[in-house]
Amino acid sequence: MNKFLALAAAGAFLLAGCGEGSTNIEDVRPQKPKTAVLVNGLGVYGNPGMMGAIQEALVKRGWKVTILSHTQAKHLTVMPRVLIGHSMGANAALKRSQIFIRNHPDLIVSIDAGRAPLFHRAPESNARVIDISCPWHPIGGQKIVGADKKHEVCGTAHIAMPHDRRVIDIIIKEVEPLNG
């Protein structure tokens, strides 16, 4: 009986939270916060580092953005809704996201991950994984096995990929469905 009362009270609270005259259940569902973490690559320790253009594009769309170095990403304890990494930062982001299987990001974007042992998406994770890379880059271009989408973006230096308009457009297109 107590469980029933608690559920009924919770239901009454939820219904009271609806907009005036609203009967739409969507009005009472908790919305995930629009949080994004951007992870810079090796040797980039200042903010925004190489991630300034992506940060600007996301902030314009109402996202709260935090920028970390690849070493700071190793200490990430709460997964954001969107996790984007460049070069060694992509490697760090992918490794860290594999630890948080139940509390995974909705979207992980790898921008020209650094050459390392092959990366696989965490099989238990429902996170959508986007791989943006150029296979011709000698220090980047690592393919992500099991990525949901792969985009080849070449013609820009590895270090400048986060500022490439094509890369930013891909990211915004992938983030747009999460805005609701």
What is the SS3 string spanning 33-53? Answer: CCEEEEECCCCCCCCCHHHHH
Q: Do 23 and 45 fall into the same domain?
A: no
Residues 23 and 100 in one domain: no
Residues 86 and 163 in one domain: yes
Task: Report how many domains make up the chain.
Answer: 2
Q: What is the mean pLDDT of residues 19-44?
A: 66
CB contact set of 14 (below 8 Å; sequence gap of 6+): 28
Q: Are 134 and 62 in the same domain?
A: yes
> Is 111 found in the same domain as 23?
no
The per-residue pLDDT for 25 is 44
Count CB atoms within 10 A of the CB of residue 157. 12
Q: DSSP 3-state assignment of 100? A: coil
Asked whether the beta carbons of 132 and 110 are under 8 A apart, the reply is yes
Judge if 84 and 2 occupy the same domain. no
> Is 86 in the same domain as 145?
yes
Rg (CA), the chain: 19
129 with 173, same domain?
A: yes
Angstrom distance (rounded) from CA 161 to CA 172: 15
Q: Are residues 62 and 21 in the same domain?
A: no
Domain ranges, residue 13: 1-30
> Are residues 80 and 21 part of one domain?
no
pLDDT, tens digit (0-9, with 9 covering 90-100), for 36-78: 999 998 876 666 778 999 999 999 999 999 999 988 988 888 8
pLDDT of residue 7: 30
- pLDDT top residue among 141 and 80: 80
Judge if pTM exceeds 0.75. Answer: yes
